[in-house]
Amino acid sequence: MMDANRINPRKSVKAPVKAPTGILGFDEITGGGLPRARTTLLVGGPGSGKTIFSLQFLVHGARHGKEPGIFVAFEEASERIESNAESFGWNMRQLRRDGKLYFLDAQPMADLVQSGTFDLSGMLAALGAQVAQMKAKRIVFDALDVVLALLPDEASKRREVYRLHEWLLAHGLTGLITAKSGGDEASSVGEQTFGFMQFMVDCAVMLCHGVVLGVSQRNLRVQKYRGTAFDENESPFLIGPTGLEVATAPTLGIEHAKVSNERISSGVARLDTMLGGGFYRGSAILVTGFPGTAKTTLSGAFAEAACLRGEQTLFVSFDSDVNEVVRDLGSVGIHLGPHVKSGVLRMASARTITGSAETYLVRIKSLAKTHKARCLVIDPVSTWSKSGSDQAAHSVAERLIGWTKANGITMLCTSLLDEIASQTEGGSSLQISTLADAWIHLSYVVQAGERNRGLSIIKSRGTAHSNQVRELILSDTGVTLTDTYTAGGEVLMGTLRWEKESAERVAHEVTEVATKLKRVRLDAEEAELEVRVKSLMVELEAKQVEKALLARTTEIQKRELSKGRTRMGELRGADVVPPK
Amino acid sequence: MKRSAYRFRLYVAGDAQNSTRALANLGAFCRTHIPGRCEIEVVDVFREPKRALADRVFMTPTLIKLYPRPVRRIVGTLSQPENLMEAIGLEVVLA
């Protein structure tokens, strides 16, 4: 009798060569999905998401690709699988009723007695009939390790894996085989079998579910993909409300950001001026700073300004209780309470340890969606690196920025700098500074036994902005920015600035008085001189009069004298010509 | 008609080695331990795949003991008569 396992492969596979899985991010990494009409091995520890991955692959094919699929369950009853996946909204029951999905319960029965060797040809023959009937294009063998564990030796395990592989190829099915790794299960499967399977299949994907510092962390890695380029890095993924979602570095141009020229206030008038009119609507703003540099205060000011404009705002506070934030901000004149009450402001706090960065991304997105947020504050975003790896946190931050931009949401996130790690400004642990449109840095300036807050704009895309460091002053009426004094190349703040200011004031007054005094004195001197000039004039006049009088007197005397001599001569009868 | 004391259904995969061996082992077992009291139905999964699906037979060969109750399944070539005897509820006859 002819062996049904040996049917010739169907005529050459038509393009496209990849079968999309519908898993966000995964199809990007692999450039289109799983290899069509080939076999993929999906390996992961218990609870790493293998079943969900497989189901999503089948559901996507059944719904969007007109590719009916079969799910062979070796470990769990199909009803359980189906009800577990209910929450993803895939409506598998309907797909099953429409003949687009078929579930096969193939768990070894509990009371099964083994006697001698056996093989999988019975199952494959049965499945062959089912494939032909529903024209299935995709098939999943979930938890193949469970069946392999029943086989007595390595050789027979290999033989069955090989049989399965051949069968998949012969039927032109896009196959997905899942198997457990890690823990005690791995030893039962046998490293050798795994190695063999990985060698045989065209594509191998590893799922890893670990706990990093008490936080659940999921990673996916494509280990092998024959004949195609793929992203070889480990990518974080999460199980969100619609299934698996793999975090990928956003490729520019995929999510088109809505570019706006509208400016919105930062909540601090002077800062708006420094920014040349405020933040751009829809931009991502990063505020970095050491603990206590008023990052939350700036966030609060931004949120309050948004609420006063009547814009729906979401304020996510990590590590701090929402009520504490409202109270603390109240002490610096930022009153968020009324906005919370009116519903404009939604505040949410999250404890860092309760989830991975991915989980937060999903939560924040859905919160922002339901609240229809136009402005979003995340304070601080740096806690994400605590909840898992920096890389994961970075990728999440990237995706969040991509998402807010695509939705025209203005986001302000703060990032805590580790005081010891980064004395230099700018070393944001998440390196999201490169993604942010505006970056405001808050620092301490320690001078004369004081710690004062300094604010500077490190960058602001598309705006002219001040390059000066300003002093940030918190008071019960709000946040203000003051000019700092630069003296001898040093920036003066706080008391030193005040001292400098008052010293200058005094100096100014002194000069003013001195000037006045001098003017008065000069006036006096001038007046005195004028007086002197007048009296001299008078004196001069007197002298002239005197001189004229003298001249006249002399003339008269002369005349009288000559008149007298003539008269005497006449009287004496003197000669007319005096003798020589 | 007299009902057989034992009724079996054996799923085989064509003439695969494991299957023919199981069939031979089962025949020998019946002849030795329960001669003339058993009824064996052989189902080829290649010819009747739907029956295999319905009976949830995925490994071949699979022997289903239908009677007497309870229904039991034995997977493999049936090369060890002892666990076959145990599975079908026969006292293990010590030699």
Pinpoint the alpha helices (H) of A253-356: 269-274, 295-308, 322-330, 337-342
Same domain, A286 and A163: no
Q: Is the pLDDT of residue A355 over 70?
A: no
Instruction: Tell me the shortest Cα–Cα distance from B1 to chain A, in angstroms.
Output: 32
Q: Which regions of A247-322 does DSSP assign to beta strands (E)? A: 263-264, 279-280, 284-289, 313-318
- Taking the Cβ of residue B41 and every Cβ of chain A, the question of whether any pair is shorter than 8 Å is answered with no
Position A490 scores a pLDDT of: 64
**Residue B46 to residue A125, Cβ atoms within 8 A:** yes
A378 sits in which H/E element: strand A375-379
Same domain, A371 and A426: yes
> pLDDT tens-digit profile of A257-279?
567 788 899 888 888 888 888 88
Mean pLDDT, residues A356-378 taken together: 83
- Taking the Cβ of residue B59 and every Cβ of chain A, the question of whether any pair is shorter than 8 Å is answered with yes
Lowest mean pLDDT among A69-73, A182-186, A331-335, B5-9: A182-186
- Taking the Cβ of residue A132 and every Cβ of chain B, the question of whether any pair is shorter than 8 Å is answered with no
Q: Which residues on B lie below 8 Å from A114 (Cβ)?
A: 74-76, 83
Give the residue on A whose Cα is nearest the Cα of B61.
A118
Give the residue on A whose Cα is nearest the Cα of B11.
A122
Position A361 scores a pLDDT of: 78
Mean pLDDT, residues A242-265 taken together: 69
Q: Which residues on B lie below 8 Å from A1 (Cβ)?
A: 14-15, 44, 46
Q: Which has the closest alpha carbon to A297: A137, A477, A554, A556? A: A477
In a domain, A489, yes or no: no
> pLDDT tens-digit profile of A81-131?
888 888 888 888 889 999 999 998 888 877 778 887 888 888 898 899 899
Contact A87, A241 (CB under 8 A): yes
Q: Is the pLDDT of residue B95 over 50?
A: no
> In B, residues 17-36, which contact A (CB 8 Å cutoff)?
18, 21-22, 25
Categorize the per-residue pLDDT at A242 as very low, low, confident or very high, splitting at 50, 70 and 90.
confident
**Mean of all residue pLDDT scores within chain A:** 81
Q: Is the pLDDT of residue A502 over 50?
A: yes
Same domain, A64 and A203: yes
Give dist(CA A465, CA B12) in Å, integer: 81
Q: Is the pLDDT of residue A484 over 60?
A: yes
Lowest mean pLDDT among A41-50, A274-283, A345-354, A474-483: A345-354
In a domain, A380, yes or no: yes
> pLDDT tens-digit profile of A376-405?
998 887 776 665 566 667 777 777 888 888
- Taking the Cβ of residue A533 and every Cβ of chain B, the question of whether any pair is shorter than 8 Å is answered with no
Give residue for tokens 């200058």. A504
In a domain, A495, yes or no: no
Residues A470-486 as b or e (16 or more Cβ within 10 Å = b): bbbbeeeebbebbebbe
In a domain, A526, yes or no: no
ipTM for the whole complex: 0.85
Instruction: Tell me the shortest Cα–Cα distance from B2 to chain A, in angstroms.
Output: 29
- Taking the Cβ of residue A213 and every Cβ of chain B, the question of whether any pair is shorter than 8 Å is answered with no
Instruction: Tell me the shortest Cα–Cα distance from A360 to chain B, in angstroms.
Output: 43
Q: Is the pLDDT of residue A183 over 60?
A: no
Task: Give the global pTM.
Answer: 0.61
Same domain, A229 and A282: no
Mean pLDDT, residues A344-367 taken together: 76
- Taking the Cβ of residue B43 and every Cβ of chain A, the question of whether any pair is shorter than 8 Å is answered with no
Q: Which has the closest alpha carbon to A160: A226, A225, A74, A56? A: A74
> What are the boundaries of each domain within chain B?
6-88
Pick the residue with more confidence: A443 or A495? Answer: A443
- The 10 Å Cβ neighbour count of residue A375 is 25
**Mean of all residue pLDDT scores within chain B:** 82
Give dist(CA A306, CA A272) in Å, integer: 14
Same domain, A167 and A288: no
Contact A316, A378 (CB under 8 A): yes
**Residue A121 to residue B60, Cβ atoms within 8 A:** yes
In a domain, A291, yes or no: yes
Q: Which residues on A lie below 8 Å from B74 (Cβ)?
A: 112-115
Categorize the per-residue pLDDT at A419 as very low, low, confident or very high, splitting at 50, 70 and 90.
very low
- The 10 Å Cβ neighbour count of residue A187 is 8
Q: Which residues on A lie below 8 Å from B75 (Cβ)?
A: 112-115, 118, 150
- Taking the Cβ of residue B52 and every Cβ of chain A, the question of whether any pair is shorter than 8 Å is answered with yes
In a domain, A501, yes or no: no
Give dist(CA A29, CA A237) in Å, integer: 12
Give dist(CA A134, CA A130) in Å, integer: 6
Q: Which of A82-91, A179-188, A299-308 ranks highest by mean pLDDT? A: A299-308
**Residue A116 to residue B59, Cβ atoms within 8 A:** no
Considering its fold, how many domains does chain A have in total?
2
Same domain, A235 and A323: no
- Give DSSP secondary structure letters for A115-130: -S--BSHHHHHHHHHH
Pick the residue with more confidence: A533 or A353? Answer: A533
Q: Is the pLDDT of residue A364 over 90?
A: no
Same domain, A238 and A270: no
Position A187 scores a pLDDT of: 44
Residue A70 Cα distances to A57, A61, A103, A122, A493, angstroms? 11, 11, 6, 16, 71
**Residue B58 to residue A126, Cβ atoms within 8 A:** yes
Token pair in block for residue A470: 């300003």
Position A431 scores a pLDDT of: 59
Mean pLDDT, residues A152-163 taken together: 87
> pLDDT tens-digit profile of A515-530?
998 999 999 999 999 9
Position A491 scores a pLDDT of: 65
Instruction: Tell me the shortest Cα–Cα distance from B59 to chain A, in angstroms.
Output: 5
Categorize the per-residue pLDDT at A185 as very low, low, confident or very high, splitting at 50, 70 and 90.
very low
Position A14 scores a pLDDT of: 46
Same domain, A276 and A234: no
Q: Is the pLDDT of residue A423 over 60?
A: no
Same domain, A157 and A272: no
Give the residue on A whose Cα is nearest the Cα of B84.
A115
* CATH code at position A451: 3.40.50.300
- Which residues contact residue A345 at a Cβ distance below 8 angstroms, ignoring those fewer than 6 apart? A303, A307, A313, A314, A315, A336, A339
Of A108, A114, A126, the CB nearest to B45: A126
Q: Is the pLDDT of residue A418 over 70?
A: no
Question: Class for domain B6-88, per CATH?
Answer: alpha beta
> pLDDT tens-digit profile of B52-86?
888 888 888 999 988 888 888 888 888 887 877 77
Give the residue on A whose Cα is nearest the Cα of B45.
A122
DSSP for residue A267 = S
Q: Is the pLDDT of residue A191 over 70?
A: no
Of A4, A106, A113, the CB nearest to B83: A113
In a domain, A254, yes or no: no
Give dist(CA A467, CA A82) in Å, integer: 60
Category of A346 on φ-ψ map: left (φ > 0), alpha (ψ -120 to 50) or beta: beta
**Residue B49 to residue A147, Cβ atoms within 8 A:** no
Position A366 scores a pLDDT of: 79
Q: Are strands A69-73 and A203-212 parallel, antiparallel or unpaired?
A: unpaired
Q: Which regions of B1-95 does DSSP assign to beta strands (E)? A: 6-12, 38-44, 62-67, 72-75
List the domain range (segments joined by +) for residue A70: 18-110+118-185+192-246
Of A4, A114, A116, the CB nearest to B46: A4
Same domain, A361 and A387: yes
Same domain, A239 and A270: no
Interface A:B, Cβ pairs < 8 A: 114
Tell me which of A429, A450, A483 is where a domain ends.
A483
Position A41 scores a pLDDT of: 92
Of B14, B78, B80, the CB nearest to A1: B14
Position A252 scores a pLDDT of: 45
Categorize the per-residue pLDDT at A254 as very low, low, confident or very high, splitting at 50, 70 and 90.
very low
Q: Three-state DSSP class for A69?
A: strand
**Residue A116 to residue B79, Cβ atoms within 8 A:** yes
Position A422 scores a pLDDT of: 45
Mean pLDDT, residues A552-564 taken together: 90
Categorize the per-residue pLDDT at A250 as very low, low, confident or very high, splitting at 50, 70 and 90.
low
**Residue B53 to residue A104, Cβ atoms within 8 A:** yes
Instruction: State what percent of residues in chain B have pLDDT above 90.
Output: 16
In a domain, A127, yes or no: yes
Same domain, A64 and A181: yes
Q: Is the pLDDT of residue A190 over 70?
A: no
Categorize the per-residue pLDDT at A215 as very low, low, confident or very high, splitting at 50, 70 and 90.
low
Instruction: Tell me the shortest Cα–Cα distance from A29 to chain B, in angstroms.
Output: 35
